[in-house]
């Protein structure tokens, strides 16, 4: 769709969304009244900036049903956010919302080349979390054979993969790396022994280095997949065949990047907090949701020809940011350096103790230790000096044997903060 037609469609849908909320949701009625805005005042897309933000605290404050526009009997699905940060939030879908979320997901998968011939092994957590179910519905809509394996039970995952010749995986980056280690320990060469060709990896931040590692170890193309429960779950933004930035479906969402401190809009290319407004949601439309995810819009058009703008890889979450000795640090900065070193394995953990003491536990690669202690010491020194250059703090590095750090089935826990500040 041409940008001008796309923007016209966005405006029409935004107007309808604001009308709906002004009619049905007391929370928004009050917010709009405070700003003196009536639905008829939304005359151009730029007027979105006059609308109030919605935060995750607002969703918790209106829990359980304060944001719902439909009556009981018209709702068809409840999800909650996985609660990585604090109490869960309740998210409601109508029948139409469920179909629409599946449609967007199917659009993503088709963009990445998935067809009805694919066997899709869905290794995400099923349940209240949106991650597995929305993807499941999308893959079924494309016509794939879907295997709802869920995460964990690695031995069984492999069996399913071998017996049913799975070609596509949906998996978190941490589990993908863990799974690769398992294959290695069983002497399985994915290129020789399995039929895998694509993996859709998301739900938590990871770096380009980690993508390359998963691609090499599993013999797949990795596509970055972004979403959040508040905006349907997965299927909000996804990579096309160029694997360079994720197209965000702007016919369904209005995309803004703001300065997280001032709330002011930032231009394409500038890094800030992603803010999203739903345009097609029936049960629970949300205006200007502060995702807390830090990213930027890629200003250039994509060579694939799609006009939906692309997001850069999520650099982290404003609430993941660590302040160590006065310096702002995202765990991904540490991951990027670790994963670029071949002697480093698949897992790491950041520990904060006492008064700002940082220790990074780092798993060695299977082939990372040749028995010579001086090689360990020099690797340790190399990691320290590279990290110091990046995060301006000198952490202690503990090298540990492969497979010894805890692995989570859902989202990875990268930081343990026991500081007494």
Question: Applying CB under 5 A, which residues contact Zn ion?
Answer: 240, 302, 304, 306
Per-position x/- string for 9-48, each x denoting binding to ligand ADP as judged by CB under 6 A, each - no binding: ----------------------------------------
Distance (Å, rounded) from C-alpha 5 to C-alpha 321?
38
Q: Is 414 in the site for ligand ADP (CB under 6 A)?
A: no
Closest to Zn ion by CB, 304 or 377? 304
Task: Enumerate residues 6+ apart whose C-beta is below 8 A from 46.
Answer: none
CB of 152 to ligand ADP, least distance (A): 17
Q: How many Å separate Cα 379 from the centre of its chain?
A: 31
- The answer to whether the CB of 123 falls within 8 A of the CB of 133 is no
Placement of tokens 């940060």 in the chain: 85
Largest CA distance in the chain: 73
When CB distances are held under 5 to 8 angstroms depending on the partner's kind, the choice from ligand ADP, Zn ion, none that residue 342 binds is none
Evaluate whether 257 touches 115 at the Cβ level (below 8 Å): no
Q: Which is nearer to ligand ADP, 62 or 343 (CB)?
A: 62
Using alpha carbons, select from 282, 119, 88 the residue that is nearest to residue 198.
119
Among Zn ion, ligand ADP, none, partner that 302 touches (CB below 5 to 8 angstroms by kind) = Zn ion
**Binder to ligand ADP among 62, 94, 210, 229 (CB under 6 A)?**
229
CB of 363 to ligand ADP, least distance (A): 21
Residues 6+ apart with CB under 8 A from 120: 114, 139, 144, 145, 146, 147, 166, 167, 168, 169, 170
Nearer to ligand ADP, 120 or 397 (CB): 120
224 binds ligand ADP (CB under 6 A): yes
User: Does 58 sit near ligand ADP (CB under 6 A)?
Assistant: no
Task: For residue 210, state whether it binds ligand ADP (rule: CB under 6 A).
Answer: no
Phi-psi region of 113 (alpha: psi -120 to 50; beta: other; left: phi over 0): left
281 burial type by CB count under 10 A (0-12 exposed, 13-18 middle, 19+ buried): buried
- DSSP-assigned states of every residue in 264-326: -B--TT--EEEEEEESS-SS---SSEEEEEEE-EE-SPPTT---S-EEPPP-EETTT-EEETT
Stretch that binds ligand ADP, among 108-116, 157-165, 182-190, 219-227 (CB under 6 A): 219-227
Which of 226, 289, 330, 348 lies at the binding interface for ligand ADP (CB under 6 A)?
Answer: 226
Near ligand ADP in 302-331, by CB under 6 A: 314, 317
Report the distance separating Cα 338 and Cα 328, nearest Å.
Answer: 18
Query: CB-based burial of residue 415 (10 Å sphere; 0-12 exposed, 13-18 middle, 19+ buried)?
Result: middle
Contact positions with ligand ADP (CB under 6 A) in 75-94: 81-85
Total number of residues binding ligand ADP (CB under 6 A)? 20
54 scored as a contact of ligand ADP (CB under 6 A): no
Residue with tokens 């993508």: 211
**Which residue, 18 or 112, has its beta carbon nearer to Zn ion?**
112
Q: Is 166 in the site for ligand ADP (CB under 6 A)?
A: no
228 near ligand ADP (CB under 6 A): yes
Q: CB 312 → ligand ADP: shortest distance, Å?
A: 10
With binding defined as CB under 6 A, does residue 203 bind ligand ADP? yes
Q: Does 204 bind ligand ADP (CB under 6 A)?
A: yes
Would you say 110 and 118 are in contact if contact means Cβ atoms under 8 Å apart?
no
Q: Which residues bind ligand ADP (CB under 6 A)?
A: 81-85, 129, 202-205, 224-229, 291, 293, 314, 317
């Amino acid at each position: 769709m041409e940008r001008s037609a796309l923007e016209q469609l966005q405006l029409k849908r935004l107007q309808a969304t604001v009308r709906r909320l002004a009619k049905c949701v007391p929370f928004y009625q009050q917010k709009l009244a405070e700003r003196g805005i009536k639905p008829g005042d939304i005359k151009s897309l730029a007027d979105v900036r006059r609308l109030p933000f919605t935060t995750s605290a607002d969703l918790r404050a209106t829990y359980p049903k304060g944001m719902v526009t439909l009556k009981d009997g018209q709702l068809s699905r409840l999800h909650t956010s996985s609660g990585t940060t604090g109490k869960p939030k309740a998210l409601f879908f109508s029948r139409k919302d469920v179909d629409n979320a599946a449609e967007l997901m199917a659009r993503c998968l088709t963009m990445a080349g998935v067809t009805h011939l694919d066997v899709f092994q869905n290794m995400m957590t099923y349940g209240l979390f949106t991650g597995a179910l929305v993807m499941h519905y999308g893959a079924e809509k494309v016509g794939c054979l879907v295997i709802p394996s869920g995460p964990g039970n690695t031995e069984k995952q492999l069996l399913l993969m071998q017996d049913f010749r799975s070609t596509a995986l949906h998996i978190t980056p941490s589990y993908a790396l863990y799974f690769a280690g398992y294959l290695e320990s069983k002497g399985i060469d994915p290129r020789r022994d399995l039929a895998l060709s694509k993996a859709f990896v998301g739900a938590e931040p990871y770096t380009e280095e980690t993508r390359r590692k998963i691609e090499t170890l599993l013999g797949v193309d990795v596509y970055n997949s972004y979403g959040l429960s508040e905006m349907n779950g997965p299927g909000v933004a996804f990579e096309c065949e160029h694997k360079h930035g994720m197209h965000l479906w702007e016919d369904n969402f209005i995309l803004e990047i703001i300065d997280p401190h001032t709330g002011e809009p930032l231009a394409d290319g500038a890094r800030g907090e992603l803010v999203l407004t739903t345009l097609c949601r029936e049960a629970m439309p949300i205006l200007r949701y502060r995702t807390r995810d830090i990213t930027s819009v890629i200003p250039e058009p994509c060579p694939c020809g799609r006009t939906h703008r692309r997001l850069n890889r999520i650099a982290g979450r404003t609430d993941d940011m660590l302040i160590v000795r006065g310096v702002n640090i995202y765990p991904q900065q540490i991951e990027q350096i670790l994963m670029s070193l071949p002697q480093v394995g698949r897992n790491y953990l950041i520990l904060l103790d006492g008064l700002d003491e940082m220790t990074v536990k780092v798993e060695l690669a299977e082939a990372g230790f040749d028995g010579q202690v001086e090689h360990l010491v020099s690797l340790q020194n190399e990691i320290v000096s590279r990290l110091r250059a990046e995060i301006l703090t000198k952490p202690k590095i503990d090298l540990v044997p492969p497979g010894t750090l805890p692995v989570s089935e859902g989202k990875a826990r990268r930081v343990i903060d026991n500081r007494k500040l």
